Amino acid sequence: MAVTGMRGGEVVALDDEDFDPGCGTLLVRHAKLGKHRLLPLHPTTVMALLAYRQRRDRRFPRPASPALLVSSAGSRLLYYNVGQTFARLARQASLPGRTGNCRPRPHDLRHSFAVASLLDWCRDGGDIASRMPLLSAYLGHASPQHTYWYLSASPELLAEAARRLAMPVAPQ
């Protein structure tokens, strides 16, 4: 979720056949609104998934499920359990929440992915407006307006916007 921005339900629904290491892609089937999308992966993500797959196959040589990612019992992950495990690991790692009652959640990784993508684009000086449809498609949104919600009120993005506003404009 951290490196793809996928929804939790999309992650647990991945089957082994949805990962194509040769092409470096994940096929997200039956996502929100019944759509499919193909996600390119960074080579380090491909290598990590290949290593995971080897460990999984050694531990579970006769798969109980076609799932790419499995539980400690070898069955498909349940999103509820993913959330519980994430919460436990976040506590063990002393990850702070935004507020006292708002602890880190797996879905926050999707928001972080969207914000990090936009920050990268800000820093490389590219045309952000023309790239927003790409981020929307990658996240599986119907349009960029649904992606902007993820980007609102991010302190890092607000700082970047302030920095850009303070930059002198070159004469035309």
Active site residues: 7, 32, 107, 110, 141, 150
Q: Which two tokens stand for residue 69?
A: 């990612």
Look-up of token digits 């290949």:
50
**CA-to-CA distance for 83 and 9, rounded, in angstroms?**
11
Cβ–Cβ < 8 Å for 46, 21: yes
Q: Which amino acid, residue 147? A: T
Torsion of CA 33, 13, 7, 117, to 10 degrees: -110
Q: Which residues contact 122 (CB under 8 A, 6 or more apart)?
A: 128, 157, 160, 164
